[in-house]
Structure 1
Amino acid sequence: MALPETETLLLEQDGPVLHVTLNRPESRNAMSLGMVNELMAVFDAVADDDTVRAIVLRGTGGHFCAGGDIKDMAGARARAAGGDADAFYALNRRFGEMITRANVQPQVIVAVLEGAVLGGGFGLACVSDVAIAADDAQFGLPETGLGVIPAQIAPFVVQRIGLTQARRLALTGARFNGVEAARLGIAHEAVPATDIDTRLADTLKQIRRCAPHANRVTKQLVLNTLSQPLSDVLDQAAHDFASAVASAEGAEGTMAFVQKRLPQWAE
């Protein structure tokens, strides 16, 4: 696997875990178009790589992501003034393509949420498989207070926490901390900032206990429940189950259980 060259992301592979760190600390890791494109490139590069089992998303400088980049908005405004009628559409829709890609990424996405988790950062949190928040992190959807809308984020917020809470947060721009984010279901847990690294390590250990291919198929199964008829989901799940039982992973998992040892993929 060859990882792409990146300017706004720090990439570090640690065994089966790829750490992707948003690296624009001067703007609290605001999501520029360059960062969006680099995230897309990273997701594409590892999508078919079975050796990468988890992707950790985090931010430098004590912040996850403070939302969209104002400079990109200014650039789009200049292009629109110059006659490009699709400037704002293209900028916004590209973020939607990236967050959609993150949502279906075969690996387990673990988001470490510290400091500002706003706008686009909030959206990324809502498509993670596991979200660990610092209890003092600051969450919010500030778009309507700026005269714009959470256009590409809103559907994923609704899927994450339900319609009624999504309406409240989007239509008030309320700010809240990591404890409240965990209560709402945006994050799965909130811990003191000093405990974040320990909790992340525990989570990655849990993921390593799960069979790589089984995890990929299970993630797709869960996502299919949102878009396919139940009978179709269950029919495909039965086929996938039969394949899993007959696979090398299935044999190793069963043998490890009988022999009271860890399976090979967890060692």
Structure 2
Amino acid sequence: MKTEAITALNTGAVLEITLNRPEVRNAMSLAMVGELRQALAQAESTVGTAQAIRVVVLRGAGGHFCAGGDLKDMAAARMRTLQNAGDAADPIAHVNAEFGHLCAAFANTPLALVVVLEGTVMGGGFGLACVADVAIATETARFRLPETSLGVVPAQIAPFLVERLGYSQAKRLAVTGGRLDAAQALAMGLVHQQVATGEVDAAVQAVLANILACAPGALAATKALMAKARWSAPADLVDEAAAIFSRAVQGPEGQEGTSAFLQKRKPNWVPA
């Protein structure tokens, strides 16, 4: 995959994607959005193969994660809107929706998603932080939700922010033009771990070791069940969850996991 706005490095079962526009603090252009979605889709296409990718690590180059959407794309969309005032299509809405589809794709991936947050975290970057399975922030991370102070709406971020933090905290951030440092983000549950910049790579490796000790199929099924549980009463999921559990127990991962436990060895999905 040829990319310009990101870099993608595959090391065994892990795909590390780096937002690579450091000169603009990794502002998210439409090109970057497309490359991110393509990289994720290609990673997901390997599931079930001998070269399966199991974890995606997402981070930014140059000491920043992401400064939000690229203003050049929005300006171009505004110009197209003015030039084609009679058209039914809305270029600005299209650009905005692309960021939402990106966050939804990463939120719904069956792969484990680890996000490393440094420096500026805004806009679509804030949304990706919200959908991470594991979010690790360094002490340099600064989170911003400035849309309302600019006279616009955090349209695509809002649902993921509500899901991550709950209605009360999400609303507070939105109506105050929210600013958070890493410690505040940790206390609110936006991120799961705060580490010093010099320790971030070791922290990522420790998380990866834990994730790769889990069976990939069971991990994907668990993520899907938990996603459904957000909108369902527990009693409504009893039979479905039982069926999922039964399939897992009788499947190859369940049998291998049980055998490995009894034989006091690592299961075959754990990297050597």
- Indicate the residue corresponding to 1:75 in structure 2: 76
* Alignment deviations for residues 31-84 of structure 1 (CA, whole Å, 9 cap, x no partner): 111111111112222224221110000000011101111111111111011015
Tell me how far apart the structure 2 counterparts of residues 229 and 6 of structure 1 sit (CA, whole Å): 43
- Indicate the residue corresponding to 2:124 in structure 1: 120
Identity %: 49
Normalised to the residue count of structure 1, the TM-score between the two structures is 0.95
Query: Is the 2:138–2:195 contact (alpha carbons within 8 Å) kept by the matching residues of 1?
Result: yes
* Alignment deviations for residues 208-247 of structure 1 (CA, whole Å, 9 cap, x no partner): 1000110010010110112345444332221111111111
Tell me how far apart the structure 1 counterparts of residues 119 and 174 of structure 2 sit (CA, whole Å): 20
Q: CA deviation at 1:118?
A: 1.0
The 5 A counterparts of 1:152-167 are 152-167=156-171
* Alignment deviations for residues 2-46 of structure 1 (CA, whole Å, 9 cap, x no partner): xx3221110000110000110111110011111111111122222
User: SS in structure 1 opposite 2:180?
Assistant: strand
Tell me how far apart the structure 2 counterparts of residues 228 and 38 of structure 1 sit (CA, whole Å): 34
User: SS in structure 2 opposite 1:265?
Assistant: coil
1:49 aligns with 2:50: no
Tell me how far apart the structure 2 counterparts of residues 256 and 16 of structure 1 sit (CA, whole Å): 21
* Alignment deviations for residues 89-109 of structure 1 (CA, whole Å, 9 cap, x no partner): 100011111111110011000
1:60 aligns with 2:57: no
Runs of at least 5 residues in structure 2 that lack an aligned partner in the other structure: none
Runs of 4+, deviation exceeding 6 Å: none
1:234 aligns with 2:238: yes
Among residues 183, 191, 198, which one is paired with 1:179 in the alignment? 183
Query: Is the 1:136–1:179 contact (alpha carbons within 8 Å) kept by the matching residues of 2?
Result: no
User: SS in structure 2 opposite 1:151?
Assistant: coil
Q: Could you tell which deviates more after superposition, 195-204 or 236-245?
A: 236-245
Query: Is the 2:8–2:39 contact (alpha carbons within 8 Å) kept by the matching residues of 1?
Result: no
User: SS in structure 2 opposite 1:264?
Assistant: coil
RMSD between aligned residues: 1.2
Runs of at least 5 residues in structure 1 that lack an aligned partner in the other structure: none
Tell me how far apart the structure 1 counterparts of residues 113 and 15 of structure 2 sit (CA, whole Å): 10
Query: Is the 2:119–2:140 contact (alpha carbons within 8 Å) kept by the matching residues of 1?
Result: yes
Q: Could you tell which deviates more after superposition, 192-201 or 171-180?
A: 171-180
- Indicate the residue corresponding to 2:249 in structure 1: 245
Tell me how far apart the structure 2 counterparts of residues 68 and 145 of structure 1 sit (CA, whole Å): 16
Among residues 135, 147, 154, which one is paired with 2:151 in the alignment? 147
- Indicate the residue corresponding to 2:214 in structure 1: 210
Tell me how far apart the structure 1 counterparts of residues 91 and 127 of structure 2 sit (CA, whole Å): 21
What is the identity, as a one-letter code, of the residue corresponding to 2:112? V
Tell me how far apart the structure 2 counterparts of residues 116 and 150 of structure 1 sit (CA, whole Å): 16
User: SS in structure 2 opposite 1:207?
Assistant: helix
What is the identity, as a one-letter code, of the residue corresponding to 2:19? L
Normalised to the residue count of structure 2, the TM-score between the two structures is 0.94
Among residues 199, 202, 210, which one is paired with 1:198 in the alignment? 202
- Indicate the residue corresponding to 1:5 in structure 2: 2
What is the identity, as a one-letter code, of the residue corresponding to 2:253? E
- Indicate the residue corresponding to 1:15 in structure 2: 12
